[in-house]
Amino acid sequence: MVKQYGFLINTKDCYGCRTCSMACKSENVTPPGVLWRRVREFNHDSPNTQAFITMSCNHCDDPQCLKVCPADTYTKRADGIVVQDHEKCIGCQMCIMACPYHAPVFDPAEGKTSKCNMCAERLDEELLPRCVESCPTGAIEFGEISELRKKHTTNWEVLEKRYKMPDHTISNPNIVIIGMED
């Protein structure tokens, strides 16, 4: 079986501090307004609940960004990480429109898109992605997706219906999301 890395997000442990987002921004020196990892807030009245979910590129089995990019900017590494050759980007934003999670981010100053590469350079040095390393509650885990899925399953039906997450079958994201069940 081919190795495929992924993230596990435990929303029960996330309180929305955005440390992961800022650590990612700092590690990757992204321009002003460009966040590769974003924290979304969900509020519901019935029952009265608040939840946070940290999201970035999900390094999908079927990455839509790779399929639509006219400049062949995206490739998938042997470990499943979807990387972008930023020099090839022509700024058409097709990847943003195609990605169900809107993971690529457009920088209007540069006129190009960019996205999370799962800290591939850090992984190559046997270090954790910066977002995982920085999370004060351990709400983000990293590893082979098959192992993460053995620990927990994602209730996609609840995520898609109640939290308006996209249909996971579009791209088959390599992420496990727990803690947002009814």
Contacts of 22 (CB under 8 A, 6+ apart): 134
pTM above 0.85, yes or no: yes
Q: For 28-57, how does the pLDDT look when each residue is reduced to its tens digit (9 = 90+)? A: 999 999 999 999 998 877 777 788 999 999
Task: Answer whether 95's CB lies under 8 Å from 104's CB.
Answer: yes
Q: What is the mean pLDDT of residues 122-139?
A: 97
Q: What is the mean pLDDT of residues 136-164?
A: 92
Determine the structural domain holding residue 172 and report its residue range. Answer: 5-178
Angle at 76 between CA 125 and CA 69, to 5 degrees: 130
The whole-chain average pLDDT of the chain stands at 94
Please, how many CA atoms are within 13 Å of residue 89, restricted to the half-sphere of its CB? 24
Count of structural domains, the chain: 1
Q: What is the pLDDT of residue 1?
A: 43
What CATH number should be reported for the domain holding residue 47?
3.30.70.20
